C-alpha cells in the first residue's frame, strides 16, 4: 500500500514542482553562475527558513535576492545596517499627527516579503535583536499594536567575512535563528567573462514575473508532504548528535575541537531543508544524498569551535566532513 502512496506522491510532487525549473531559468538570465546560491535561496524559500550569506562584496548577493523577489511579484526591502541604525528605522515607529491629534503607526521597511539585511554585523545588538524577533515571531509590535508580517517572509542577511573592524558579531543564539548559512564564492573565469559582457552591453537582462506569493504558500504545504522514512530521520538525528558527542560515533579526535554541538533546531532545519531539496529535485521522498547536500549549510553555523581547533586552523566544514564520513548511511 505504501509503495502505491509513494508513487502517487511522487507524481504529484513532479507536477507541483514544475515551477522550480521556470524560476531557475528566469533567475539564470540575470545571475551568471552562482548555482549553489540560487539553489539555497529556493531551499530557504520553500522551507520557510531565513538565510545568512557570507562572502566578499560584489558577488551578486543583493542582485540574487532582488531577482528572486521580481520573479515572485513580491515586495522587496533592502536595509543597509550601519552602527547608527535604530530599531525604529527597521520596524517602524509612532508618529504624532497634529491633524487627528493622535499617534499614528508608520511601518518600517521590515514589512516586505523579502528583506535583504545588508552587512547585519555592522549594527549594534539592539537592532539585530529587533530583526531577529521579527524573523522568529513573524510579527512586529509598535507601541501597543502588533502587526503580522506578510507571507512569504524571508530574511537574507549578509556579512562580510574580511572586515571585522567596527562590527558587532552576531551572538550564537541569534545565528542559530538562520536555517542556512551559505558561503558565496567567486565566479569561474568563463562566468566572469560573461558577467563583463552582460554589464558592458548596456542592455542588462531582467527576470520575468512567473509566480505569485500565494503559489509559494501552496508549495510550502506540498514540501511538508514529501515522504521521509524513519531511517532518514534516524540518520539526521545521528548527524546532529555526532556534533555533541563525537566519541559515540568513533570520532574521539573531534571531542577537543568542539566547544558545543548543534541544537534540536538543527535537526528540524536539516529535515525540512532535505524535504525542500528533494522537492527541487522533483522527488516525492527524501534520500540520504538530500540530507548530505544540505548538511553543510544547516550545520556550519551551529558548531562552536574550541581555541584548540582555531589554533590548528580547523574550520567547521572539516568537522562536518568527518561526521558525514563516519556516520552510517541508511
pLDDT tens digits for range 187-210: 888 888 888 887 777 777 777 788
Query: What is the per-residue pLDDT for 179?
Result: 93
How many H helices and E strands in the chain?
14, 11
Q: DSSP secondary-structure letter at 98? A: T
Pairing state of beta strands 92-97 and 76-80? unpaired
For residue 277, give its domain range.
226-326
Query: What is the per-residue pLDDT for 111?
Result: 92
Domain count within the chain: 2
Domain C-terminal end among 191, 216, 241: 216
8 Å CB contact between 118 and 79: yes
- Which pTM value belongs to this model? 0.88
- Alpha-carbon distances, residue 192 vs 147, 187, 189, 196, 223 (angstroms): 43, 6, 5, 6, 34
8 Å CB contact between 81 and 119: yes
3-state secondary structure 122-148: HCCHHHHHHHHHHHHHCEEEECCEEEE
Length of the chain measured in residues? 330
8 Å CB contact between 64 and 38: yes
Which residue has 536539516 as its cell numbers?
Answer: 270
Point out the least confidently predicted range of 25-34, 159-168, 178-187: 159-168
**Residue 1 forms part of a structural domain:** no
Same domain, 86 and 172: yes
Beta bridge partners of 147: 140
Query: What is the per-residue pLDDT for 142?
Result: 84
Same domain, 269 and 199: no
- Gap between the Cα atoms of 209 and 172, Å rounded: 37
**Residue 294 forms part of a structural domain:** yes
- Gap between the Cα atoms of 71 and 208, Å rounded: 6
Instruction: Report residue 207 as a C-alpha cell.
Output: 527576470
What are the tens digits of pLDDT across the range 57-114? 777 777 888 888 888 888 888 899 888 888 888 988 888 888 888 888 888 899 998 8
Same domain, 57 and 136: yes
Domain C-terminal end among 186, 216, 246: 216
Instruction: Report residue 164 as a C-alpha cell.
Output: 571585522
What are the tens digits of pLDDT across the range 208-242? 788 888 888 888 998 998 889 899 999 999 999 99
pLDDT band at 166 (very low <50, low <70, confident <90, very high): low
**Residue 209 forms part of a structural domain:** yes
Amino acid at each position: 500500500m505504501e509503495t502505491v502512496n509513494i508513487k502517487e506522491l511522487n507524481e504529484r510532487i513532479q507536477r507541483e514542482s514544475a515551477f522550480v525549473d521556470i524560476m531557475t531559468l528566469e533567475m539564470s538570465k540575470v545571475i551568471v553562475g552562482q548555482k549553489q546560491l540560487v539553489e539555497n535561496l529556493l531551499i530557504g524559500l520553500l522551507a520557510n527558513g531565513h538565510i545568512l550569506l557570507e562572502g566578499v562584496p560584489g558577488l551578486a548577493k543583493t542582485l540574487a535576492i532582488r531577482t528572486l523577489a521580481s520573479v515572485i511579484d513580491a515586495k522587496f526591502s533592502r536595509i543597509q545596517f550601519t552602527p547608527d541604525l535604530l530599531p525604529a528605522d527597521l520596524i517602524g515607529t509612532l508618529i504624532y499627527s497634529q491633524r487627528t491629534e493622535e499617534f499614528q503607526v508608520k511601518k518600517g521597511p521590515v514589512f516586505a516579503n523579502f528583506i535583504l539585511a545588508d552587512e547585519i554585523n555592522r549594527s549594534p545588538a539592539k537592532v539585530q535583536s529587533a530583526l531577529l524577533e521579527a524573523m522568529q515571531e513573524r510579527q512586529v509590535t509598535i507601541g501597543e499594536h502588533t502587526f503580522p508580517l506578510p507571507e512569504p517572509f524571508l530574511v537574507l542577511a549578509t556579512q562580510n567575512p574580511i572586515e571585522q573592524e567596527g562590527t558587532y558579531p552576531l551572538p550564537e543564539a541569534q545565528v542559530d535563528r538562520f536555517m542556512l548559512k551559505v558561503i558565496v564564492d567567486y565566479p569561474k573565469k568563463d562566468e566572469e567573462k560573461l558577467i563583463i559582457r552582460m554589464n558592458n552591453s548596456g542592455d542588462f537582462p531582467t527576470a520575468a514575473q512567473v509566480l505569485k506569493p500565494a503559489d509559494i504558500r501552496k508549495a510550502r504545504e506540498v514540501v511538508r508532504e514529501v515522504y521521509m522514512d524513519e531511517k532518514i530521520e534516524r540518520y539526521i538525528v545521528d548527524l546532529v548528535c555526532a556534533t555533541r558527542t563525537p566519541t559515540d560515533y568513533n570520532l574521539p579526535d573531534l571531542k577537543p575541537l568542539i566547544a558545543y554541538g548543534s541544537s534540536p533546531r538543527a535537526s528540524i532545519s536539516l529535515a525540512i531543508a532535505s524535504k525542500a531539496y528533494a522537492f527541487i529535485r522533483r522527488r516525492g521522498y527524501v534520500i540520504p544524498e538530500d540530507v548530505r547536500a544540505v548538511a553543510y549549510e544547516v550545520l556550519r553555523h551551529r558548531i562552536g569551535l574550541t581555541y584548540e581547533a582555531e589554533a590548528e586552523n580547523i574550520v567547521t566544514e572539516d568537522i562536518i566532513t568527518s561526521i558525514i564520513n563516519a556516520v552510517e548511511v541508511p
